[in-house]
Amino acid sequence: MKILIVEDDQRVAELIQRGLHEHGFSPTVAYDGLSGKKLALNNQYDLVITDIILPKLDGLDLCKELRQIKPDLPIIMLTALGSTDDKVEGFDAGADDYLTKPFEMRELLVRIRALLKRSNNGTANTSGFILKYDDLEMNLQTKSVKRNEVEINLTPKEFKLLEYMLQNQERVLSRTEIAEKVWDTLFDTGTNFIDVYINYLRKKIDKDYDKKLIHTRSGMGFILKAE
């Protein structure tokens, strides 16, 4: 598996590179965002690990630009910026996972393997498959969402969250389950990024309708149910 590391701190980059080598991966290092972008677009990588604060092109813009051209390329953001707002901004840019510094190599390896596994399983036969609940409809092929035939624009993470809720409709989903199944990460009780994304979905899915579909179950989690 070929992995691109975009990290301007040479010590950190070499640490990740050495750790990946030891576990059978083939890593390449770029020390600025522009070089990372060129490498990612001109070569086939199985996964990208990028810092956010980078010279020439920051990690958020790098992620957005890669997403436009290679939408299925798994991306992990590895950064010292660890607030809820920072994580939401990273996910909105298109990152699949977000790990804050300092980190343990074994945790990074767990995140990498989880994303690679999900990426390899992502070729399932979903062509033309429609998920429906009440007047809400999701097309997994065109990545489109409609409610009452009105198109709703979602970010990639909002789409994945709603997809999981549609696959588990009328079942209470805990924050821990959502973190593991949608973000492939352990739920950090010190941040509320899942609540932030639930609120994003509510504004887009429920705001203009009397019948609400996304609900909070106090102390338990969230549920997709017509009420």
Give residue 151's pLDDT: 93
Average pLDDT over residues 37-60: 91
160-211, pLDDT tens digit by residue? 899 999 988 889 999 888 988 887 766 565 568 889 999 999 999 999 899 9
- How is residue 173 annotated by DSSP? B
Give residue 22's pLDDT: 87
In the predicted model, is pLDDT for residue 125 greater than 60? no
CA proximity to 111, closest of 74, 150, 63? 74
pLDDT band at 127 (very low <50, low <70, confident <90, very high): very low
Tell me the domains of the chain and their CATH numbers.
2-121 (3.40.50.2300), 130-224 (1.10.10.10)
Give residue 117's pLDDT: 77
What is the C-alpha to C-alpha distance for residues 15 and 10, in angstroms, rounded to an integer? Answer: 8
**Dihedral, 9, 184, 123, 93 alpha carbons, nearest 10:** -50
The DSSP bridge partners found for residue 59 are: none
User: Which is higher by pLDDT, 70 or 48?
Assistant: 48
